[in-house]
Amino acid sequence: MPRYITEKGIRGRYYSRLEQYMGTSWIDKLSVKFDSDEEVEDYAWLGTPPGLSEKKGERHVEAAREFFYQLRNKDYDGGLKIPRKLIERDKTGQVDMLIEDFAERGGSHWIELLSALILAGTGDSLGKCYDGQYYFDIDHSEGSSGTQLNLLAAGQVAKLGVTTPTAPTATEAIDAILGVIAYMLTYKDDHGKPMNSGAREFLVMTAPVLWSYLTKAIFGNTDSAAASNIIKELEKDGFRVSLAANPLLTYTTQFLTFRTDAPLKPLIRQDEIDVDIEILGQESDHWKKEHEMLVMAYARRAVGFGRWQYASHSTFS
């Protein structure tokens, strides 16, 4: 039997691949991770602190606005059976590939949870955020912000009106993306002050079909008329827009835009037990009885919404 097919070797390969996979995804850009040690965690979302103003008389001190938000951890598991004969006959690294693929499935679990949350954000029972509204909605309001919306269409951003909504040209997509970002820059905090005035980095996400059109807008050097791509030109000034294709989204004419350079993120990951594996190997009763190795993964976690002001849902029409 090859020396590397041991419980220790499998464990090392699993966690190595899991770490590598996590580093290549959009998870960390869009979500902040909080450690948990309770079944339910309370998040007392605080409004933004006040800025500076001219001192006249007593010091200007305001109480932080507090919101209440709860996330409940859930249990998740999955197992992989590896037949004894495969382990004993493996000379081509098939077991390695199985373990690495199993690790990638574990690494994609956050993507699955966050994607389901995003899809629920336009009107599902899971889609309520800290202010009690749907995450993507038309009537967010807190403190002195006034009524605001992050469920955008051509009525808010005129450039979302295009010739073919399912296949925008590079020029149309460039104008629409910049129009949406410009709209997001107008969001106000609960003190009525600009929320995203310092924003410099954004990520656009959509389903693969529409992604193939938006790539030209974000990565192309020129637009449809062979003029310089403004999004690329803005990179010289430190303004960056990245792009992610998410096969779990069902969009045909919609895309998401997230601010990614703020300390708090648009989404939340809550982790009580990170992905852990248990192996029933050559020394186990299971091996002797079933003639197979069993690799079982387990996690206890939850996902939720962060600041809606760092996200928008846009529809081409």
pLDDT at 118: 96
As a whole number of angstroms, the distance between CA 118 and CA 124 comes to: 10
Q: Which two tokens stand for residue 186?
A: 């107008």
**Fold exhibited by the domain 7-39+73-315:** phage-related protein like fold (3.90.1690)
**What pLDDT was estimated at residue 47?**
57
Task: List pLDDT tens digits, range 285-301.
Answer: 999 999 999 999 999 99
pLDDT at residue 87, rounded to an integer: 86
Query: What local confidence, expressed as pLDDT, does residue 68 receive?
Result: 76
Tell me the whole-structure pTM to 2 decimals.
0.89
Q: Which residue has the tokens 């693929």?
A: 101
The pLDDT tens digits for 184-208 are 999 999 889 999 999 999 999 999 9
Per-residue pLDDT at 2: 47
| Structure confidence at residue 6 (pLDDT) | 79
Kindly list the domain boundaries of the chain, sorted by start residue.
7-39+73-315
**SS3 assignment, position 298:** strand
Residues 6 or more apart in contact with residue 189 via CB below 8 angstroms: 47, 48, 143, 145, 195, 309
Nearest to 281 by CA among 87, 15, 18, 17: 87
List, for the chain, all residue ranges whose pLDDT scores fall below the cut of 70.
1-4, 23-24, 45-66
